Amino acid sequence: MTSLNLNAVFPIAKNKMTSIEDKVLTIQERNDEKLRNELIGDYQPFIKKVTSKVCSQYIDRTMDEFSVGLFAFNEAIDQYQEGQGSRFLSFADMVIRRRVIDYIRKEVRQNRLIFLQPDEEDEEGRLEESYAEQKAAMDHFEDQIQVENRVYEIEEYQKLLKTFGLNFKVLSKHCPKHVDARENAKEIARLLAENEELAAFLKEKKQLPIKDLLNMVSCSRKTIERNRKYIIAVSLIYLGDFQALKSYIQP
């Protein structure tokens, strides 16, 4: 039996199977607002799913949180970069989560301002107790949001590390033992991440631009090569904009 050549049968299939990454890059290059609106419309179920997960409740199109998710998805379209180490939907997922979490935190802070203050309590002190309980509940809620965001960032960071052939087990073996060496490696990573050309080289080639780094820092090639994996790992925290993880690498 002769094998079926689908390309011959459906010659236009290849064009129809354009990836979402290709569509996003087309929108960026051509400023194609029609395609942008179509993409946002097609992925509203995705936006709703991510937003609902962050809020731990079902979010429909009439709610403010959904609008935040829509704006975040649109922002992701503008900010996505080809070859940054993640697929577009993974990147969009991260942006939506961050924007929704920022919105929730803002709401929490605003709600605190309308609490009845302790000096407005009645004779039995009931309002003071209510204020304290509500404040404690909101503090706990914000703490939970921060924990969930940190867990999510760790998961995304692990995926990004994997694209460079790295994982936490490997990094634990290659982490500089001396404090000075670690801080020096972190500084090299920061300089790399802040330089667009070097950052682009790292993301595209999956390796350090050692020659260029030597012109920027006062250490030997041997030192950079010895701490290569650790420098890459720290650079990716900066480049991935992992806000919760930055606290582990900043002085």
What is the pLDDT averaged over residues 42-62? 88
**Whether the model pTM is above 0.75:** no
pLDDT for res 201: 93
Whether pLDDT at 222 is above 90: yes
Assess contact for 40 and 74: CB atoms under 8 A: yes
CA atoms within a 13 Å half-sphere pointing along the CA-CB vector of 55: 23
Domain ranges of the chain: 17-162, 168-246
pLDDT for res 170: 84
pLDDT for res 127: 44
Whether pLDDT at 6 is above 70: no
User: What would the DSSP string read from start to end of 55-88?
Assistant: HTS---TTSHHHHHHHHHHHHHHHH--TTSSS-H
Amino acid at 149: N
In this prediction, what percent of the chain has a pLDDT beyond 90?
A: 37
Residue 234 dihedral angles phi and psi, to the nearest 5°: -70, -40
> How far, in Å, CA of 74 to CA of 37, rounded?
9
Q: Tens digit of pLDDT for each residue in 160-208?
A: 899 999 988 888 888 888 888 899 999 999 999 999 999 999 999 999 9
pLDDT for res 226: 92
